[in-house]
A and B are shown apart, each in its own frame.
Chain A
Amino acid sequence: MAEKAIAIRGLNYSYPDGTKALKGITLNIAEGESVGIIGPNGAGKSTLLLQLNGILRGAGNIKIFGTEVEEKNYGKIRGMVGVVFQEPDNQLFMPTVFDDVAFGPLNMGLAKEQVGERVEDALTKVDMLPAMRKTSHHLSFGEKKRVSVATVLSMSPKVIALDEPSSNLDPKHRRGLIDLLNSFDMTKVVVTHDLDLVSKVCSRVIIIDRGEITADGLAADILNDRELLAKHDLAAD
């Protein structure tokens, strides 16, 4: 069996107001796996995603390639787990596209030449190299989304975690995003409501409802189980 990319043991998390967001999550994800996390609104999907690199910390234990997610390892963990946030305007905060994509590698302490190479490489992968010197508020939404992915790719993460990657994208850009995700061979975790995207990108699906894992299995099995999807408010009709 491939190495465990993500190992979560007994993870509990409550919001500051006391609401329980995650209850006893235990989960293993193997290296190279592509996992879709689905569930109704407010189920705790995004909260779980932010636990993977220590942005949110709950009680329990998370290991990324054997390294525990704790404060002293944050630098290493954040180099391994790239999180693409839902809202690109939060992800892109630097004055130019180049600076945004270089932000991660510079924080990793890479040499300047290497940073330059990484930036060009990442922007080429998402087909945004010509926009390198542009300011991100001069980009369209779809372009911003692709640059957001590049800001994480430039860090060469072993795990890429995306929060609602297809939200607000038009059909053409959404298709482009699916192709882009399928071209990555690192471990992927995608939190989304877009079941079609899951079926095209993920081999495994996990359903989270009210902070608990209620189903975990092959994408083909879960996505065809209409009864199960309806039970968790995931069926459209």
Chain B
Amino acid sequence: MHYLPADKYCGVKSLIHNLDPRVKIGGLVLYILAVVSTKPEAYSSFLLYGLLVFLLLFLSKIPLSYLLKRSAVVIPFVFFITLFIPFLKEGEVLRQFSFGTINLSLSREGLMIAWNVLIKSYLSIVVIIIMVSSGNFADLLKGLERMGVPSLFIMVISFMYRYLFIIGGTLTAMKNAKDSRSVGGARWLQTRALGNMVGTLFIRSYERGEKVYLAMCARGFDGTVKTMAEAKLKRVDIIFISTSFILLSAIFICGRFYG
């Protein structure tokens, strides 16, 4: 039995877990659109968007520590991209630093851009994490499919999700077999063995693919993917998406006028 980190809270029962995946995806898109189109100076709007995150977190019964841990994986990338912007952008200089021949100046405009990128990406990331973690990945795929994403594309993602662990398991088994027989020897020999393992892993995955295809054919697969679309939107779905829309519009509009 294997669980992705994102699957950890998929079985919890909460209002958010109970939502139709289409509503979740729709709400997520609305949220991201609202956040990215808010002016960077509208600080109070960002505060309100942040409060919405806490509200979502509370409703979904996902612990804050989990959210912080998951987001810590993604945010450093954004951070390093934004790190240099305040020094590269020209504008009103706030402070000068000089290291020997190198002169760095911190500009207000650059700082504003960095803040803008950081806050917007972080808010988006945490909401994505809540939405993905609060339910089955398979349901999320179903939602995407019902929203018109081509079924072939969905099939590829679902295969990836399904076989990730199996390929990982194959790799672990090969590594264990290698380690059991690696008694001393030069480091480069071990590195070479690793190269061979990658090759073997590729061939095994390829063969696995062939076998899965045969198993699909054996159950009548003829090249077209057929799935069951089911369930209508519930009342709670409609209420959730309308409330989200109203709240987000309100925050967005406030940001326009009072930011």
Chain A residues in the interface with B (C-beta under 8 A):
50, 53, 55, 74-75, 78-79, 82-83, 85, 87, 89-96, 99, 102-104, 106-108, 112, 115-116, 133, 135-140, 151-152, 155
Q: How far is the CA of A151 from the CA of B215 in the complex (A)?
A: 11
Is B161 part of the contact surface with A, judged by Cβ < 8 Å? yes
Please tell me if the beta carbons of B161 and A95 are within 8 angstroms of each other in the complex: yes
**Of the candidates A74, A90, A92, A115, which one forms a contact with B208 in the assembled complex, judged by CB atoms under 8 Å apart?**
A90
Asked if A112 meets B219 with Cβ closer than 8 Å, knowing A93-B159, A95-B137, A137-B1, the reply is: no
CB closest chain-B residue, reference A151: B219
Give Cα distance in the complex from A151 to B226, angstroms: 15
Instruction: Write out the residue numbers on chain B whose beta carbons fall within 8 Å of the beta carbon of A95.
Output: 137-138, 141, 158, 161-162
How many residue pairs bridge A and B at CB < 8 Å?
A: 90
Contact with A along B200-227 (1 / 0, CB 8 A): 0000000010011011111111100011
Q: Which residues of B contact A138 (CB under 8 A)?
A: 1-3, 7
B228 touches A96 (CB 8 A): no
In angstroms, Cα B230 to Cα A116, docked, is 10
**How long is the Cα–Cα vector from A232 to B232 in the complex, in angstroms?**
59
With A and B bound together, what is the CA distance between A59 and B221 in angstroms? 24
Main DSSP-derived SS at the A contact region: helix
Tell me the minimal C-beta distance from A71 to chain B in angstroms.
11
Shortest C-beta distance, A147 to chain B (Å), equals 13
Asked whether A87 lies within 8 Å of B211 as measured between CB atoms, the reply is yes
Question: B-side interface residues toward A, CB under 8 Å?
Answer: 1-3, 7, 136-138, 141, 158-159, 161-163, 165-166, 208, 211-212, 214-222, 226-228, 230
Q: A85: nearest residue on chain B (CB-CB)?
A: B215
Residue in B138, B227, B230 whose beta carbon sits within 8 Å of that of A106 in the complex? B227
Q: List 6 A-B contacts (CB under 8 A).
A: A90-B211, A93-B216, A95-B138, A95-B141, A104-B220, A106-B228
- Docked-complex contact A99 and B138, CB < 8 angstroms: yes
If A75-B222, A95-B138, A137-B165 touch, whether A102 touches B228 (CB-CB below 8 Å) is yes
Q: Which residues of A contact B212 (CB under 8 A)?
A: 90, 93
Min CB gap B115→A, angstroms:
39
A95 CB, min distance to chain B CBs, angstroms: 3
Complex: A106 Cα to B222 Cα, angstroms: 11
Bound: A133/B136 CA distance, A: 9
Please tell me which one of the listed residues A87, A94, A108 contacts residue B162 in the complex, with CB atoms under 8 A apart.
A94
